[in-house]
A and B are shown apart, each in its own frame.
Chain A
Amino acid sequence: MIYLDSAATTLQKPQAVASSSAWAINHLASPGRGGHRPAMAAADTAFACREAAARLFHMEDPERVVFTFNATHGLNIAIKTLARPGSRVVISGYEHNAVTRPLHGMRADVRVARSPLFDQTAAVEAFRQELNQGADLVVCNHVSNVFGFILPIEEIAQLCRERGVPLIVDASQSAGALPLDFQRLGAAFAAMPGHKGLYGPQGTGLLLCGADPDPLLEGGTGSESVRQSMPDFLPDRLEAGTHNIAGIAGLLAGLRFVERRRVERIAAQESALIRRLGMGMKRISGAEIFQSSDPAAQAGVLSFRLRGWDCEDLGEALGRRGVALRAGLHCAPLAHETAGTLETGTLRASVSAFNTGREVDQFLQILRSIPAKH
């Protein structure tokens, strides 16, 4: 199988991820819930994971690295901390439902800073214009999960800092795949899954906290147990209930892999694969690809359509030929609306550090064998 669906989850992981999770199931107990060896070993693993994430994202304080179930969980905490009904919230035109649904649910006054696909300058300008009209909060993804468009997050963060507007970064597609300096951004929060570019297991995620969050869940934390309110310190404030320590052990192995491989190298590799894929597709009759002419504006995700084909049917056809990629709206109808693909959806190919140029070439060969319809 040629796996090109890493924007959903990276399926190929470093070997240590599965072995660490399996080992944890049999050897690690619940961190903070006992002084015995398996509990303290679990605590060591959790702390090592926080420290590894803090290093990767340039944070001084590992206490502000919070474990979540996934990026959606982290985004819900962040959004529900900073937005209220009627809050004026500026978002990019490329946000995922993990951002838009919580905002819709609380009846925030959502303003979309619309800009053309792959136009970073226009994106900054769109945010500038919206922010100049006043905003309570900005939520922006670093990389579009549909098109791989790299939003100019540093510039957007600067606009926010200059105006004192808190920023939430959805780093779902960029964590581990692009450099991200949380401290320099000065963002209130950055949410990310553990199971994509950080190569951890599903059911893991991280929330980096620059601001003080409100808990989404309440319950036992192994600290200040007499009090009936949640602790006012991190990470305990956000980590009610038993940790997913098997997942965290796997995530630690994934983080160590990224650290060893280096994010810059992974980014360069994924970018090269996407360029190769785009170049190859350009020669396929009837293929419409969404590729930036500027490699710095696109990460390891590429959407395309094939003339005459329903994207789901084409996804099925490719699946039967041993290619795994995703068709449809990718839980991001806003991104499709912005790019003009809402009616049709797209096919999305997305790569990881484990894909090779040979796989890309094989995929192109398979795609060429599927004729465009007229």
Chain B
Amino acid sequence: MLYYLIVCRSLTYAQRTAAALERAGVTARILRSPKSIAGEGCSHSVKISQRNLTDALRILQRVGLTPKRVYITAGDGSYQEVAL
């Protein structure tokens, strides 16, 4: 199943992001960012399903938590950055 990863600068930021999405009815799960997309070392990401990206971006913009980097899973297990 395809899904998106919203890469966050910190665990707490990821928690705020996930909490805002959950409050708005969008299922969101926090996980450690895959090494290949983690940026400058360790980070956390918020995972959302493919169908929820548009809603998620709208919700996060509304609450002032606009993501900086979003990735989508590819069929081969790699990740591709999504142009926002």
- List the interface of chain A (C-beta within 8 A of B): 31-32, 34-35, 40, 43-44, 46-47, 50-51, 61-63, 222-227, 231, 233-236
Contact A47 B10, beta carbon cutoff 8 Å: no
B32, closest chain A residue (CB) = A35
List of B residues within 8 angstroms of A235 by Cβ: 10, 12
Of B12, B15, B19, B44, chain A has the most CB atoms within 10 Å of the CB of: B12
Shortest B41–chain A CB gap in Å is 3
Contact A224 B42, beta carbon cutoff 8 Å: yes
Contact B41 A225, beta carbon cutoff 8 Å: yes
Contact B16 A223, beta carbon cutoff 8 Å: no
Contact A223 B32, beta carbon cutoff 8 Å: no
Shortest B59–chain A CB gap in Å is 17
Contact B42 A225, beta carbon cutoff 8 Å: yes
List of B residues within 8 angstroms of A61 by Cβ: 16
A225, closest chain B residue (CB) = B41
Q: Is the CB of B11 closer than 8 A to any CB of chain A?
A: yes
B14, closest chain A residue (CB) = A43
Of B10, B13, B39, chain A has the most CB atoms within 10 Å of the CB of: B10
- Chain A-chain B contacts (Cβ-Cβ < 8 Å), number: 59
- List the interface of chain B (C-beta within 8 A of A): 9-13, 15-16, 19, 30-32, 39-44
Contact B40 A225, beta carbon cutoff 8 Å: yes
Shortest B60–chain A CB gap in Å is 14
Partner of B41, one of A50, A227, A233: A227
Q: A223–B33 Cα gap in the complex (Å)?
A: 10
Contact A223 B42, beta carbon cutoff 8 Å: yes
Contact A63 B10, beta carbon cutoff 8 Å: yes
Subset of 22 A-B contacts with CB under 8 Å? A32-B11, A32-B42, A35-B31, A35-B32, A43-B11, A43-B15, A63-B13, A223-B9, A223-B10, A223-B11, A223-B41, A223-B43, A224-B43, A225-B41, A227-B40, A231-B9, A231-B10, A233-B9, A233-B10, A234-B12, A235-B10, A236-B10
